[in-house]
Amino acid sequence: MGKWLMVCAASLALGFAACGDDGGETTGGASAGGGGGGGGEQPYIAIVSKGFQHQFWQAVKQGAEDEAKAKGAKITFEGPPTEQDIEQQVTMLTNAIQKKPAAIGFAALDSKASAPLMEQAKSANIPVIAFDSGVESDVPVTTAATDNKAAAAEAAKHMSELIGGKGKVALVVHDQTSRTGIERRDGFVEWMKANAPDVELLPVQYGAGDQAKSADIAKSIIQANPDLKGFYGANEGSAIGVVKGVEESGKKGITIVGFDSGKAQMDAIRSGVMAGAITQNPVGMGKQLVDSALAAINGEQQPKVIDTGFYWYDKTNIDDPKIAAVLYE
């Protein structure tokens, strides 16, 4: 992490002169620039997400764009190529501050690496709304996110029920630096330790949310543990990777539970390869992010955390209108 802090420090020391003009922006609801929020101008909200490689982020973006259009705001929505690109995300946040938006939305890949830039945003009177993952800083006005520990505990409860409360279970988690990675790991592990004494959890493996890497990890675990009963994938890439790993290994009878949605996961649940998963409400998260940013621009008080909700889904309820509304392909 020291490398990332050095990046921040260097950028701040140079007054951002070392940063590029755009920082890898991939898309946006409108062109960036100017804070707005006064004199009849549309307020500009700069949003930096964790990435674009998962359908989850596309759904968050859609929710943010729709709400911005409805409320008369301008947004940009960008993220690094992969969720391992912490340094690139720090540069994107640096550039976002430099544009002097009316507010910033930020989903941290590393909960600590961005702390110096949070202080820079505060000094520039730019309110920050954290979303999806929190930041280890008091600067964000609020954090719009799933209660990831509670959601992971729900996944653990279903896993225990599905395997009869005993046997070996493996975890493939996307990272150990973001709040989502930490909380989805800890929520699952803590529930099992407290409620399922006959379930043996194997050491946690980290696949960076990369499908291919997570699939390789899954195959290695299966080879070393032929009596494995269950797999938990802590995000979209991890869960799809586990499904691929189990399928490629040819092993039958392993219960898989996951996190998030996406076409591959939905197909796996419909076919029975995956037992079920936790879905968040990414469109609602994007909408809440914009609403919170506009409230912060107007100086309104907000709770420190806004729970955007989660649901367990499997093939029995995947077509329920309430569930279908928060799934995404």
- Is 30 domain-assigned? no
- Is 167 domain-assigned? yes
Specify the pLDDT at position 31. 39
On whether both 66 and 165 belong to a single domain, the answer is: no
- Is 316 domain-assigned? no
Q: Mind listing the pLDDT tens digit of every residue in the chain (329 residues)?
A: 344 444 444 444 333 333 333 333 333 333 344 565 444 689 999 999 998 777 889 889 999 999 999 999 999 999 998 888 999 999 999 999 999 999 999 999 988 888 899 999 999 999 999 998 878 889 999 999 999 999 999 999 999 999 999 999 999 999 998 889 999 999 999 999 999 999 999 999 999 999 999 999 999 999 999 999 999 999 999 999 999 999 999 999 999 999 998 899 999 999 999 999 999 888 999 999 999 999 999 999 999 999 999 999 999 999 999 898 888 88
Instruction: Provide the residue range defining the domain that includes 156.
Output: 148-279
Question: What is the C-alpha separation between 175 and 107, in angstroms, rounded?
Answer: 14
Read off the pLDDT of residues 64-104 as tens digits, 9 standing for 90 and up.
999 999 999 999 999 998 888 999 999 999 999 999 999 99
On whether both 198 and 275 belong to a single domain, the answer is: yes
- Is 329 domain-assigned? no
∠ CA 110-59-206 to the nearest 5 degrees? 35
Question: What is the C-alpha separation between 91 and 93, in angstroms, rounded?
Answer: 5
On whether both 68 and 115 belong to a single domain, the answer is: yes
On whether both 56 and 100 belong to a single domain, the answer is: yes
On whether both 244 and 274 belong to a single domain, the answer is: yes
What is the tally of structural domains in the chain? 2
Extended beta strands in 16-67, E state: 27-28, 44-48
List % helix, strand, coil for the chain (3-state, nearest 5).
45, 20, 40
- Is 210 domain-assigned? yes
Specify the pLDDT at position 40. 60
Cα end-to-end span (Å), the chain: 34
On whether both 274 and 291 belong to a single domain, the answer is: no
DSSP code at position 172 = E
Do residues 294 and 284 touch, judged by C-beta distance below 8 A? no
Q: Which of 263, 262, 213 lies closest to 238, judged by CA?
A: 213
Do residues 184 and 173 touch, judged by C-beta distance below 8 A? yes
Specify the pLDDT at position 56. 85
Q: Three-class SS of residue 323? A: helix
On whether both 63 and 153 belong to a single domain, the answer is: no
Specify the pLDDT at position 82. 86
On whether both 129 and 168 belong to a single domain, the answer is: no
The number of CA neighbours under 13 Å toward the Cβ of 169 is: 34
Phi and psi at 313, nearest 5°, equal -135, 145
Strand partners, 145: 307
Cβ-based neighbours of 325, under 8 Å, separated by 6 or more: none
CB atoms within 10 A of CB 78: 24
Q: What is the CATH number of the domain that holds 297?
A: 3.40.50.2300
> Residue 305 is which amino acid?
V
Question: What is the C-alpha separation between 160 and 268, in angstroms, rounded?
Answer: 20
Specify the pLDDT at position 328. 80
Specify the pLDDT at position 35. 64
Strands 74-78 and 27-28 turn out to be antiparallel
On whether both 193 and 248 belong to a single domain, the answer is: yes
- Is 313 domain-assigned? no
> Residue 168 is which amino acid?
K
- Is 33 domain-assigned? no
On whether both 232 and 254 belong to a single domain, the answer is: yes
CA-CA distances (angstroms) from residue 212 to 14, 94, 247?
Answer: 39, 31, 13
DSSP 78-140: E--SSTT-HHHHHHHHHHHHHT--SEEEE--SSTTTTHHHHHHHHHTT--EEEESS--SSS-S
Phi and psi at 178, nearest 5°, equal -85, 155
CA-CA distances (angstroms) from residue 52 to 55, 76, 77, 85, 316?
Answer: 7, 13, 10, 12, 30
On whether both 53 and 139 belong to a single domain, the answer is: yes
Q: Which of 282, 280, 285, 291 lies closest to 67, judged by CA?
A: 291
- Is 7 domain-assigned? no
Q: What is the pTM of this model?
A: 0.74
On whether both 163 and 274 belong to a single domain, the answer is: yes
